[in-house]
Amino acid sequence: MSFDHKAYILDYEGFSKELKPLIEQGLLNDNYSHIRQFILNNKSLIKDPYEGMSLSEDWEDMIETRDAHQYGDFALTKFYDPSQSHGFGDGWEEAQDILLDEDDCPYAPVLGDMLGAEDNFFDPGQMGSYFKSPDSVNKLFSFLSSLLAERPELQELFQSYFELVEQASRERKGLYITF
């Protein structure tokens, strides 16, 4: 089975202040009530994470498993636009292999940091979910800029992701990466 790498610009500061502690608490306590309340309080700013549309009145019917992962998936859309994915798609492993072979490659260039505890990481799609801070994005942007200047043959594979990283760096944002 092939994984589809998706990457989004994330308001990392807002996410860290408002939602990250709720998700961490929900994962730790196996309780999603605070995340659900966050969604209700911010409903006009939350979107369907699959289609990017505004939430309908029966939005909870879309949640198959009522847990911190699924509610967190919806709540997280306050901080990114689900219709603006610029990941590697199914070419992510090739990109990762190329990057990891380079000297001075930053930590997890195609992925990022996981959220939660070792026995219960935030992973709504059960295929991986990662976050990059603005500092991490800046390091990645510098690295990719140098790499693509030295190896222009990689331009096509990295173009969309590079543009996303460049924009996130310029706007001092983070990234949300998922499969």
CB contact at 8 A, 137 and 165: yes
Contact 95, 157 (CB under 8 A): yes
> How high is the pLDDT of residue 100?
95
Q: What is the pLDDT of residue 163?
A: 97
Q: Which residue positions in the chain have pLDDT lower than 70?
A: 1-2
Query: Can you give the three-state secondary structure of 111-160, one letter per residue?
Result: CCECCEECCEECCCCCCCEEEECHHHHHHHHHHHHHHHHHCHHHHHHHHH
With contact defined as beta carbons under 8 Å apart, do 28 and 117 qualify?
Answer: yes
Predicted TM-score (pTM) of this structure: 0.95
Q: What is the pLDDT of residue 119?
A: 87
pLDDT of residue 110: 96
Listed in sequence order, the DSSP H helices in 1-55 are: 12-18, 20-29, 33-41
Residue 2: per-residue pLDDT? 63
- Return the structure tokens found at 37: 């309340």
- pLDDT, residue 118, reads 81
Query: Each residue of 71-85: pLDDT tens digit?
Result: 999 999 999 999 999
